[in-house]
Chains A and B, each alone.
Chain A
Amino acid sequence: MARAATDDTALFEYALRLGDNCLILGHRVSEWCGHSPVLEEDIALANVALDLIGQTQLWLGLAGEIEGQWREGGGRSADDLAFLRDAGAFRNLLLVEQPNGDFGKTLARQFLFDAWHNAMLGALQGSADKRAAEIAEKAAKEVAYHLNRSRDLVVRLGDGTAESHSRMQRALDDLWFYTGELFLADEVDAAMLAAGIGPDLDDIRAQWDAEIDRTLKQATLRRPDSGHVQKGGKRGVHSEHLGYVLAEMQFLQRAYPGARW
């Protein structure tokens, strides 16, 4: 049965958002490779980055497949979507493009995202779009490990030394501003919810809140009470940081178009 073109436009946007979150966070985390505090953490961060880049290929591959229904010359490949779009065409959440900061900030960002990602993938496994459901089923198993690890480290650093506690609290306070966007539904989210493809973000928020509150309590950390919300990433309005990420990530394809190895 053919779906209306408007639905497919929304699904394309939705797949881009899911893929771009994985791509940008995967790139950010990969920046740690060779720089982590201890070898085990270096390997763990590289593994998490690798999972996220693998998931990027699946989501952006789906986006390109959908785009092929109307784009002359066919949909773009996952690589083209990753390497040949400029910042304004990226649809990732502002949270994932924030700089790594110290190890605590990287882990705080990861935990805030993992808790959302895990809930999203849990819900997406029941998606009316079979392709999205299959990707979610695969990714959920990987992200469960990501969440277990980032939760554990937030607790250990939060409930650790005075220094690690204060750094973890500062990281949370700095990043909290960007978490509201995770649950702000716009017309794309509404279209996906109506089509049975995406979840209700209010349900995701309830799961996220429970995870965050439980973990922060265990970590002796205080949930920031700021109600300010910075938004824009989902429609392509980004912080200045994204441009620097892309400058590095896309350099080779920009300098040597079509280069392969």
Chain B
Amino acid sequence: MRPATDQIRAWLDEVPDPEIPVISLVDLGIIRDLAWEDDTLVVTVTPTYSGCPATAVINLEIETALRAHGIERIELRRRLSPAWTTDWISDKGRRKLQGYGIAPPVAGTAGCNLAGDAAPTVVCPHCGSTATRVVSQFGSTPCKAAFRCDDCLEPFDYFKCH
């Protein structure tokens, strides 16, 4: 039996990201392709950051989830290009990040840092203020920056554009 790839995608949409469990692997935009090659399911995954320690865990969780749904032959393929961008994070994922207290990446800012431009306006996930500033472009995980809100004075994580 070969379940349809839409069905498989729905299953993977229930697998949480190991470091930010409020969003799924599908929300994160790293599942780039699902295809059957004979009786083997080929899952093409794009890494977020090249050194992200969650990568190995993500691969394991994809396999575990799919086996639980009865898929026995699975091949994971890594695809580097096109490189992962935060523009691939789903709208659902962005809303969930916001609700979790992590400011989602500002849409359409994939190349924002590349020319050394000023950071985009980041909205505080706690109070909604735009009076925020970057504390450090490097936060608690490779994908996040540390920010602070000048209105409610709370620190928060920003899923930085990439």
Contact = CB atoms under 8 A, between A and B. Distances in A.
A55 to B, nearest CB: 5
Interface in B112-146: 113-114, 116, 135-140, 142, 146
A182 interface: no
A40 B146 contact: yes
Contact of B140 (A43, A55, A147): A43
Interface residues of B, number: 23
A56 to B, nearest CB: 8
A133 interface: yes
A139 B50 contact: yes
Contacts of B51: 50-55, 57
B80 interface: yes
Nearest to B117: A148
Interface string B65-102: 00000000000000011110000000000000000000
Contacts of B140: 43
Main secondary structure of the interface of A (DSSP, over half): helix
Nearest to B80: A134
B49 interface: yes
Given A40-B146, A53-B51, A145 B80 contact: no
B136 A40 contact: yes
Contacts of A139: 50
A46 to B, nearest CB: 8
B137 A133 contact: no
Nearest to B136: A40
B53 interface: yes
Residue of A55, A144, A149 ringed by the most chain B CB atoms within 10 A = A144
A44 interface: yes
A52 B50 CA distance: 8
A168 B47 CA distance: 36
Interface of A: 40-41, 43-44, 46-48, 50-55, 57-58, 133-135, 137-142, 144-145, 147-149, 151
